Amino acid sequence: MINKTIYLLLIVLLTGAGCKKDGQTVNQKTDSGITGGNTGSTTAIVKGADLSWLTQMEASGYKFYNSAGTQQDCMQILKDKGINAIRLRAWVNPSDGWCNTSDVVAKALRAQKLGMKIMIDFHYSDSWADPGKQTKPAAWVNLNFATLNSTLKDYTVSVMTALKTNGITPDWVQVGNETSDGMLWEDGRASIHMANFAALVTSGYNAVKSVSSTTQVIVHLANGYDNTVFRWMFDGLKANGAKWDIIGMSLYPSTTNWQTYDSQCLDNMNDIVTRYNTPVMIVEVGMDASQATICKSFLTDLISRVKSVKNNEGLGVFYWEPEAYNWQGYGMGAFDASGKPTVALDAFAN
């Protein structure tokens, strides 16, 4: 338990600059059980995209076109732009069915057929989870903590098993999405119940490894420039015996502060590598789609900085929902209004 003053300060830090994706606007945004190692590369980092909206967009009649204007499969377009990995969010029981287990498997199969690596992003919710909300799935609301913990483990195993049954072994799995103040509130709110959050992370970790020992487990926070929050969180997790393989982060700068954010993010990544002996990965980035040239500069710089992380421990960069154009009010994709990729994605070609 932390005192009230520190708690209120943390809530301001954690929610003030998070990434909001579920509405019409977007704001700016091994030791002691920790595993890690020199698994990165300065010359061949992962270049990825979260395409979780793709099947829903396609069902709504959306088409995608390459830079020459020829209609193509969206994943193929992105592969041709240098994207080599796909990230997919998993929701427990979404009301409309999108991003449930069967939808995740369907998209993962498509990515695998194109030879792309796969990341699964467990939100442990029926809908969006982020720094401002970590709502339990409706079916889990009344569970005591011990049962909640075991239910998280069983659900994780079930999704991993569904993937395995279809011949899919994810390269990475996130146990929680932007968990800057934990997940499955209030039981797993880190600023109040850090030990509970650590237990949930460890249960997710063990569940993933029980199905696929080679899959790397990620703990993901928002605001990759904010070293104070990262130190607070991972010091707390470490002290409570949590297990993870990679530390993930989001980075959503504006067109005017991206250079500052990139510099602060690199400092944070280097500190994390040293402090926790843990590789790092940028699992979400985005910028105003109407400023594609600036976004390309931002991405080019960020990719270069990730490659420069000490000990080759900067593993990759994932763009969040680049395919989203004229879609649910989201304005930080990387396709234009005609369904073609913008120049921003050219940053992934090198």
The span from the CA of 26 to the CA of 31, in Å, is 37
Q: Backbone dihedral region of 97: left (phi > 0), alpha (psi from -120 to 50 degrees) or beta?
A: left
The span from the CA of 275 to the CA of 46, in Å, is 23
Q: The dihedral of CA 123, 126, 129, 133: what is its sign?
A: negative
Query: Known catalytic residues?
Result: 178, 284
Placement of tokens 């809530």 in the chain: 11
> Nearest to residue 294, comparing CAs of 260, 249, 322, 259?
259
Residue by residue, DSSP assigns 201-260 as HHHHHHHHHHH-TTPEEEEEES-TT-HHHHHHHHHHHHHTT---SEEEEEE---TTTHHH
**Alpha helices (runs of H) in 16-100, residue ranges in sequence order:** 54-59, 74-80
